[in-house]
Chains A and B, each alone.
Chain A
């Protein structure tokens, strides 16, 4: 029973794994949160779990990366760096693991080299194991991360993204692994990233076997999702064929799309004579007992559709995107179209677009294209900016075959051959002037930012500024339990909320009355640490205005045709592409909006002159909010 502690040199970690008779477990808490709880599991809950998780003796705890960094600042209002520091205080020996999207880092499109390196250097201070992937399995997209991780003395865990289909052969993956090892050297852990939970147990067993045959000295880490309810079977076959590390999660929170329960893995593999190295089963059980009661407060973030989805083998959506896709379908009112989208259109689009790997940001491209193809009626009629970039080869070359020419023509236009020649190729993102970015952020915050604040800003500029201002105003709110943070409907008078602040000081807030004055203002009385405080709220004008202005999709299209360009969905303005006074024609791009990680061009529905611009870059718009006004040229 050899536990690997945080701080062990990389060569020693890899050597221990090579010589291991049993297998190790990574507690994939981050992926569980992302796949089954829309990434909302709070640091508060992770801190409750921390002492037992520390004793459990995992290979690692995956607790950051993926979409979590964005959601940390966007929704959970916690600083991702502070989160790692707080967890480290209660988990000194457990290695922390991240999921890094290669050149896309923790965002949705490629970053310049200097931003990648700066970001990895700062996060590597806290993160011991770097699971890095590229959705096109294009190794050059990951090189900068590999280098920085190695320089920081942390463990590289490059991924081969896995999928199914006639092209996805063992030969292909063995060659891909060779390409990676060529770049990283042999002191790594190689990950099979099965983000969809695809393939049968037998298929995974074969792949592991082929890789082990070719690279017997490279420890393999199998990462899967339980979307079809059968990841346990794949895990067992992976370990039986030589995988050294597998992913699983705490049973108190396991759902349908994330990893399966740790204890089920351990119990099943015991039958086959495999021992979970360093693992304290008692502590695994205890972790779930400690946090089980908290799950009720996350109810609102669980999937709209309950139950496993064995049809994932058809639509191949990654576990991490299941929740958000279903949420989008539910909010967009097209849940009834899901069978068409998931079981007919998605597999078709996937095939048409080269059968690459359905994982961020490629999975969003497939999903958005399929949704738009079904909802808008005309296939590839309203291509997203990211689909355009995909066809231009900005993310990397198609791994197996290129889409048909008619798709290029649909997306890039009649002169697609010229466009492809002029704009095609892997995007070489120019380095950013970090001093200038730092200055811009200082301007917005009013104080000189720290390196960590700057990194958050470089990842998600608008959201980072919003978050840092939030933190300044409301403090470090991770100390509030989900029962408080997610509370809906107001508290009861007399409710007492006790908590410790980030420095460990005890506080008590008691809810008092909330009288409304003649002028409509509400005063909320709270007794804060036994002293009365009051907070006055003016009636929320913006809310009622939005309520009145809510337009239907048809109305928004009608208005656009009359030159009143409105936001068709909830999202942020990435770019206003027209100037006031500019002449525009039907089909011209006047703005770009971003929602659900996808950029969508807003096209002109009426030719004329732009006479007014209401929205600006960075604005968060609701459906029906004004973007700009076009008047007929007279």
Chain B
């Protein structure tokens, strides 16, 4: 383990850290790196050559034409680090973040991987191994199977599980994650049909065709706990987040802390999370995810071994910079605060402003130019984005434009701030999720903190909104036409 020495003036020596990611998270990481006094090395693929993270970094390396494959190319990224003299790599989320081979390759190349060890990633990334570790530690688990055997034997195992626990059940890819590789099975027939399909899909997506079953917890709340663990035996939590508002298992809105009123239950969930992290010898930042059923039973879901998209809400209520801590922990520093120092305050909400058309099944709006980009600001407002006016959204990457996170002392104040910020936001060109979130921010169940994973399906009216609600934007279009055509064709 490389231990970072302080220089004579007490400030850490300037190191180069490579950011193996793109989009808003690349900028988030670069900011933390630069705030620590280090230098940030960006990498990019050709379709991202107009991306802002390249300009903000201290230097940038073109990996190749991509798309996506170069951000996933372990060899190219390691060699970019070597070439620029970066001593550490932060993988962000997605791409190589939870790839144990990448963590391993870093370890082999004597580069610090900012995250847990390849062994931890391997264990927790394999859902079945993870279940075994947690089950041994006495962590409450959703009833489930080990990896299903191949062929007919596996199907028989599956049908037996269905008979014992009843349908529906979830069929999951053992190496899946991020909401992918999950199928809901309603009956025996579907089970027989879906297992082979799930296997081939898992093989294609995760290079491993293992699948297993879990009982379905109907309409659960998704509650997760942020963990930080140093290499000196200290593990602590930064409280809970609620990520129940999802569509097809993709999170849209995240909230900290959970809105459950029973503080004793939340404390217990947090303690369980720390226990789970310790059971897996966890190191660096991670997230322990739980499902909470309507009777407030909670079940371990998985541990995400990366910085989460929604880490911002925890940062807002705790005041603790998770990415900064990730870097320091990776460099071998002990945690500089104790569990007692973590004092969450108020509420935070993050919405993912995506270039998508919610009305059209969240169809991505890639390829369009952002003709107007006007962001919001003011008290308790945080933006993590990377687009700018004139930016053309590449079609080949995800559709996240900017994360809007608001913080308030009370829930009402926070929701009011969210509503105000969404109204102030103006993005023209692509359709975005903004008007959809505006509807949620005025919806009464959301206002009363009452939501679970069925929220989007059970509140179809949040999809009813006018596309471009900015009156002045519409009027500006007419004025532009009058100016261009030299008369108003609609008033002749």
Contact = CB atoms under 8 A, between A and B. Distances in A.
A533 B483 contact: no
Interface stretch (B236-244, B270-278, B471-479): B471-479
Among B480, B490, B492, max chain A CB count under 10 A is at B480
Interface stretch (A53-61, A139-147, A186-194, A473-481): A473-481
A485 B491 contact: yes
Contacts of B83: none
B484 A497 contact: no
Nearest to B375: A531
A497 B479 CA distance: 9
Contact of A490 (B374, B428, B478, B483): B483
A511 B473 contact: no
B477 A75 contact: no
Contact of B471 (A502, A511, A533): A502
Given A532-B389, A533-B372, A488 B486 contact: yes
A526 B479 CA distance: 9
From B471, B474, B475, name the one whose CB has the most chain A CB atoms within 10 angstroms: B475
B105 to A, nearest CB: 45
Given A501-B471, A531-B426, A509 B476 contact: yes
Q: Report which residue of A77, A477, A511 has the largest number of chain B beta carbons within 10 angstroms of its beta carbon.
A: A477
Contacts of B483: 490-491, 511, 514, 524, 526
B205 interface: no
B387 to A, nearest CB: 14
A98 B474 CA distance: 31
B478 A533 contact: no
B58 interface: no
A301 to B, nearest CB: 10
Given A485-B488, A488-B486, A489-B486, A509 B371 contact: no
A514 B484 CA distance: 8
B482 A534 contact: no
Nearest to B374: A531
A470 to B, nearest CB: 6
Contact of B472 (A484, A529, A532): A529
B75 interface: no
B486 A476 contact: no
Nearest to A536: B371
A499 B478 CA distance: 14
Given A75-B491, A532-B389, A479 B486 contact: no
A37 to B, nearest CB: 12
B478 A474 contact: yes
A473 B372 CA distance: 16
A479 B474 CA distance: 12
Contact of B492 (A75, A497, A524, A528): A75
A181 B184 CA distance: 75
Give the size range of A's interface with the partner: 35 or more
Interface in A462-521: 470, 472-477, 479-480, 484-491, 497, 499, 501-503, 505, 507, 509, 511, 514
A533 B476 contact: yes
Interface string B412-436: 0000000000000010100000000
A373 B374 CA distance: 62
Contacts of B457: none
A76 interface: yes
A511 B411 CA distance: 42
The DSSP consensus for interface residues of chain A is mixed
A200 B371 CA distance: 64
B488 A501 contact: no
Contact of A509 (B475, B487, B491): B475
B474 A475 contact: yes
B52 to A, nearest CB: 17
B374 A470 contact: no
Contacts of A532: 372, 389
Contacts of B472: 475, 501, 505, 507, 509, 528-529
Nearest to A497: B479
A77 B490 contact: yes
Contact of A470 (B471, B479, B482, B490): B490
Interface in B171-215: none
A473 B474 contact: yes
Contact of A480 (B426, B475, B486): B475
Interface string B391-421: 0000000000000000000000000000000
A537 interface: yes
A535 interface: yes
A522 interface: yes
A485 B482 CA distance: 8
Interface of A: 40, 75-77, 470, 472-477, 479-480, 484-491, 497, 499, 501-503, 505, 507, 509, 511, 514, 522, 524, 526, 528-529, 531-535, 537, 540
26 contacts: A75-B491, A473-B477, A475-B472, A475-B474, A480-B478, A484-B482, A485-B482, A487-B482, A487-B488, A488-B487, A489-B487, A490-B483, A490-B486, A501-B471, A502-B471, A505-B472, A507-B475, A522-B484, A526-B483, A528-B476, A531-B426, A533-B428, A533-B473, A535-B476, A535-B484, A537-B484
Given A474-B490, A528-B372, 4 more contacts: A475-B474, A475-B478, A491-B479, A528-B476
Interface of B: 371-372, 374, 389, 426, 428, 466, 471-488, 490-492
Q: Which 8 A-B pairs have the closest CB atoms?
A: A475-B474, A535-B480, A524-B480, A474-B478, A501-B471, A507-B472, A528-B476, A488-B487
